[in-house]
């Protein structure tokens, strides 16, 4: 299968492009033993996470300059951007799997991670190794002196690392989950072959806009003139995106999940929309239907209505906003129907800037108990405040506040017994804390 020819000065060794007039200092990372590689990974990760102090600085000029210093690695493969309020991570996974099944070497970029920080950057479904993580980090860090005082943000740096890794591993396609919005997101520094907008709802209104059309406009910023756009948005958002697509003369495809004639194994019913979007994108790329359907049918998407235990039954899900809470309603009806011999428990945490009141209003009626906790993050809402919010909703279920997520999960298991059912949701960061690697805890 022919690969797209490189259009950049990116070096597979990870060096800064030789076309630059002056080379910056290079960080040195020796690779002598497995233990030492692990140590280097931790040091790289700690340094990368320290970039969080620079906050979020929307805009593409700094990212463009960083990529130029790196030799434009993003030009060595074809890119696909996936934006949306909900479903973008799942859609990224579906499409990456389909591309791999079709014989392509597929890179994928996710944000945030859940089980391991390294899962943010993957090639053919495998997370970046500790050795390659340190190598890509070294490449990006060594370019920073040339940026002078315009230091990249954490997300810009990890995105640049992903581009470097994908170029080094010679991927054919990279499917990139957009971080925030779209127009000014770091991932938008590439030139996508096609773009995807899964859904649009009210989110990050302090940055993206106060109305759905305003937010839709920001997400539509990933669209390119004459390039296909696949859209799962409805209502006002759909109209706004359609208007922009017409202006950019971009072919637009609105999905119909009801046309996906296949059963999804072990996945929530809300995944049909995401699967249909990925299938449409794959068809546009010329992949045969039988490959698409087979890949979708066998898909396993982490932390999306995922059962991690059977006794008691524990399901984890990324739902953390009102739209996502509505989407899991059918699965709640099925897996958390009333049963006197099987208590139903909700383990819940949320960030302060999320509309957790609306989320709780949608899902509390499906449970007998709700246990609230608070992961050790600055943005996390306190367990007591979450409990107080639930009380105001006139809930008739038993409410419990336990700050420690570990203690809260232990309590939930005790109350559930062997026959009970537990749903853990409300924040990706709760799942990350309880079930992810703890070699380095990010508390920002």
Strand 126-127, strand 229-231: pairing: unpaired
Q: How far apart are CA 408 and CA 402, in angstroms?
A: 6
**What's the confidence (pLDDT) of residue 181?**
87
Question: Angle, to 10 degrees, between the axis of helix 235-247 and the axis of helix 212-219?
Answer: 40
For residue 13, is pLDDT > 50?
no
**What's the confidence (pLDDT) of residue 257?**
67
For residue 24, is pLDDT > 70?
no
The mean per-residue pLDDT over the stretch 314-340 comes to 91
Can you list the alpha helix ranges (DSSP code H) found in 285-317? 289-297
Q: What is the DSSP letter of 247?
A: H
**pLDDT tens for residues 84-97?**
999 999 999 999 99
Question: Which of 59-68, 349-358, 435-444 has the weakest average pLDDT?
Answer: 435-444
Alpha carbon separation from 172 to 102, 106, 135, 163, 264 (Å, rounded): 11, 6, 21, 12, 27
**pLDDT tens for residues 368-384?**
999 999 999 888 999 99
84 φ/ψ sector (left φ>0, alpha ψ -120 to 50, else beta):
left
**What's the confidence (pLDDT) of residue 203?**
79
The mean per-residue pLDDT over the stretch 273-285 comes to 94
**pLDDT tens for residues 91-150?**
999 999 999 999 999 999 998 888 999 999 999 999 999 999 999 999 999 988 888 778
The whole-chain average pLDDT of the chain stands at 87
Most confident of 35-39, 194-198, 339-343: 194-198
DSSP run (H or E) holding 314 = strand 313-316
Residue 429, helix vs strand vs coil: helix
β-strand partners of 401: 372
pTM for this prediction: 0.85
Split at pLDDT 50, 70, 90, the class of 11 is very low
Split at pLDDT 50, 70, 90, the class of 22 is very low
Q: How far apart are CA 63 and CA 56, in angstroms?
A: 12
β-strand partners of 379: none
* Among 138, 139, 119, 135, residue whose Cα is nearest residue 127: 119
Can you list the alpha helix ranges (DSSP code H) found in 50-141? 61-69, 88-101, 130-141
Split at pLDDT 50, 70, 90, the class of 444 is very low
Of 211 and 32, the structure prediction assigns the larger pLDDT to 211
Q: Domain spanning 306-435: which superfamily?
A: Mur ligase, C-terminal domain (3.90.190.20)
Give me the torsion for CA of 279, 158, 116, 97, rounded to 10°.
20
Split at pLDDT 50, 70, 90, the class of 441 is low
Q: Which tokens is 63 given?
A: 């990212």
For residue 29, is pLDDT > 90?
no
Residue percentage of the chain with pLDDT more than 70: 86
Most confident of 49-53, 205-209, 274-278: 274-278
β-strand partners of 59: none
Q: Which residues contact 234 (CB under 8 A, 6 or more apart)?
A: 199
Which CATH class, in words, describes the domain spanning 34-297?
alpha beta
Split at pLDDT 50, 70, 90, the class of 340 is confident
**pLDDT tens for residues 30-86?**
333 344 455 588 899 988 988 887 777 778 999 999 999 999 999 999 999 999 999
Domain layout of the chain by residue ranges: 34-297, 306-435
Residue percentage of the chain with pLDDT more than 90: 68
Split at pLDDT 50, 70, 90, the class of 248 is very high
């Amino acid at each position: 299968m022919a690969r797209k020819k490189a259009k950049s000065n990116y070096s597979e060794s990870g060096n800064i492009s030789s076309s630059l007039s002056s080379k910056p200092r290079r960080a040195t990372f020796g690779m002598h033993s497995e233990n030492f590689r692990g140590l280097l990974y931790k040091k790289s990760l700690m340094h990368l996470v320290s970039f969080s102090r620079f906050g979020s600085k929307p805009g593409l000029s700094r990212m463009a300059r960083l990529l130029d210093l790196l030799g434009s690695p993003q030009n060595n493969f074809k890119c696909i951007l996936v934006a949306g309020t909900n479903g973008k991570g799942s859609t990224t996974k579906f499409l990456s799997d389909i591309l791999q099944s079709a014989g392509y070497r597929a890179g994928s970029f996710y944000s945030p991670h859940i089980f391991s920080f390294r899962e943010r950057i993957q090639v053919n479904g495998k997370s970046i190794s500790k050795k390659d993580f340190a190598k890509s980090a070294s490449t990006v860090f060594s370019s920073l002196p040339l940026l002078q005082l315009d230091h990249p943000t954490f997300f810009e740096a990890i995105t640049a690392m992903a581009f470097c890794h994908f170029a080094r591993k010679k991927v054919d396609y990279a499917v990139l989950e957009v971080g925030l919005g779209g127009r000014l997101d770091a991932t938008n520094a590439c030139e996508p072959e096609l773009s995807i907008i899964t859904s649009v709802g009210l989110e990050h209104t302090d940055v993206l806009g106060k109305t759905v059309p305003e937010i839709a406009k920001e997400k539509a910023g990933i669209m390119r003139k004459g390039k296909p756009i696949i859209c799962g948005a409805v209502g006002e958002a759909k109209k706004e995106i359609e208007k922009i697509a017409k202006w950019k003369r971009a072919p637009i495809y609105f999905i119909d999940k009801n046309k996906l004639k296949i059963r999804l194994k072990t996945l929530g019913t809300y995944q049909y929309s995401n699967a249909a979007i990925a299938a449409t994108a794959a068809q546009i790329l010329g992949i045969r239907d039988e490959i698409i359907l087979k890949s979708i049918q066998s898909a396993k998407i982490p932390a999306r209505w995922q059962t991690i235990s059977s006794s008691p039954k524990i399901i984890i899900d990324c739902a953390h906003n009102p739209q996502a809470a509505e989407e899991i309603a059918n699965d709640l009806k099925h897996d958390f129907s009333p049963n006197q011999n099987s208590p139903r428990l909700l383990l819940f945490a949320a960030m302060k800037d999320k509309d957790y009141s609306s989320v709780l209003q949608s899902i509390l009626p499906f449970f007998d108990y709700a246990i609230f906790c608070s992961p050790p993050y600055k943005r996390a809402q306190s367990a007591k405040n979450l409990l107080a919010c639930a009380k105001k909703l006139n809930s008739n279920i038993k409410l419990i506040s336990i700050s420690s997520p570990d203690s809260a999960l232990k309590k939930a298991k005790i109350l559930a017994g062997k026959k009970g059912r537990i749903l853990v949701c409300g924040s990706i960061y709760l799942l990350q804390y309880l079930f992810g690697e703890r070699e380095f805890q990010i508390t920002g």
